[in-house]
Structures are given as structure tokens and as C-alpha cells.
Amino acid sequence: MAVFQAALINEIEKLYKKKKVMVAIFISLAVIVVGQLIIVGMRTGFGLRGVGSVEFPILVLSVVVNTILPLLTALVAIDCFSSEFSNNMMRVTLTRPVSRFKIFTAKVTTIVIFILFNLFVLFAFSLLAGFLFNANSATVAGFFKIVLSYSVSLIPMIVLALGIVFLANIFKNGTSVFFVSILGFLILKAGAVLFSQYSSLFITSQLDWYNLWLASSFPFSRIGHQLLIMLGYGIMFFTAGYYLFDKKEY
């Protein structure tokens, strides 16, 4: 455990020193500010109601889970793997008394921590913006809905990150991984529309699964179904990614 802990601290330190976290905070803030400005503009300019303090964080979530969150996750996942492959930096870590499984797991855990942090930043800022601009509609039940939505959104993001990690272990070049990830994302999004009867099988469709948790009559079976699909994808991507990582020669 001490070795894994050391590997994890090292990975987090590397991520922090590369300033990716600051970029994530800045982009998240920008999205919220722009979003809130649009809503304020609509309210004052067109007399439209816009969204209340509870709806605003959910609205932000619905936008970011399909845009900047996967993008930032892809950048960090690529950085953790591809950048180190191409610069031969992986050798530096691999020649220490730490198994490849622990390094791989530490890298994946770092990506998960990054996603969690990013979601938390978005949650905190959007909640704050929602309260500042429309505090009248705030309720305790609404607050729990927001917490639940942001919390459950972590799961599909982890699956997506594992998919990108898998790709990062196939292609040596980070740019290739990035473009293949974007292309794959768009194809899956289009596929979910074209083959709507199978949309639950597409990972990208699961990014919006927080909506299921907000339904008035709780859809146990659908949530269980989606969770198992994501679990299946997650296990497959993790195993395949680790297999390739373990077999890599440096």
C-alpha cells in the first residue's frame, strides 16, 4: 500500500505541476460566468424567466458533461500516459521498485481525482452563481438534487476516461489519441441518435444518466441496467488498458 501511495502522490504532483488543474478551474469558471451572463441577459433583455438557483447548476452540468468535462478528462488522461510514452519518461518511473499494476492504477486514480475535483469546482461555482443571481427559489431538496446529479455524473466520466486510457495505450502519439477520442465521441453521439433503440449501449449516452436520478418516480431497473453496462465497459477498458500497459516495451 505504501508503494501505491507513493506512486499516487507522484502522479498527483506531476498533474499539479503541469498546471492542468489551474486550466480546468479557469475553464469551469468561464463556462459558469458565460452561462450566468446569458441567463441574466435573457431575463433582463427579453423578459424570460431563465433558470432558478436549483436549475442553474443542473443546466451547467447538462452542458459540461457533453463538452468540456470529457475534453479536459481526455487531455489529462493523454497527459498521464501518451506524454510519458513519447518522451521516454515512463522509464524513470518503471525502473523503481513499483509494479506496473500499481503505476497504472495510480495514474487512473489520479484521473478519477481530477474528474472529481473538476465536478466539485463546477458544482461549487454554479451553485454560488445560482444563489447569487436567483436565491428565491433555493430549497434543501433542490440542493440534494444538485449534489446527487454531480455525484452520479462521476461514474460515466470514469468509464469515458478508462476508454481514453485504453486508446492512449494503443497509440504512441498523444495527438492521435486526442483526435481518435474526439472522433469516437462524435461517432458514438451520432450512433445514439441514429440507433436510438440501442442508445443505452453507447457510453456517450450514459453521460446524461444523472437525469434518471432526478425522475419523480425513481426508475430502479433502468438505473441498475445503466450501472451494469457502465461497470462492464469500465472493467473491460481497465483490463484491456492495463494489459497493453503491462506488455509495453521501453
Contact residues for other proteins, defined by CB under 8 A:
2-3, 6-7, 9-10, 13-14, 17-18, 87-89, 91-92, 94-100, 247, 249-250
Question: Smallest gap, in angstroms, from Cβ of residue 110 to other proteins?
Answer: 13
d(CA 8, CA 110): 7
Give the residue with the Cβ less far from other proteins, 17 or 194: 17
d(CA 146, CA 149): 5
d(CA 100, CA 90): 10
Closest among 53, 62, 72, 71 to 126, alpha carbons compared: 53
Question: Smallest gap, in angstroms, from Cβ of residue 164 to other proteins?
Answer: 21
HSE-CB for 187 with a 13 A CA cutoff: 6
Question: Smallest gap, in angstroms, from Cβ of residue 79 to other proteins?
Answer: 11
Give the residue with the Cβ less far from other proteins, 15 or 60: 15
Give the residue with the Cβ less far from other proteins, 102 or 189: 102
Report CA-CA distances (Å) from 18 to 21, 60, 88, 118. Answer: 8, 26, 17, 16
3 state DSSP class of 173: coil
3 state DSSP class of 74: helix
Question: Smallest gap, in angstroms, from Cβ of residue 90 to other proteins?
Answer: 9
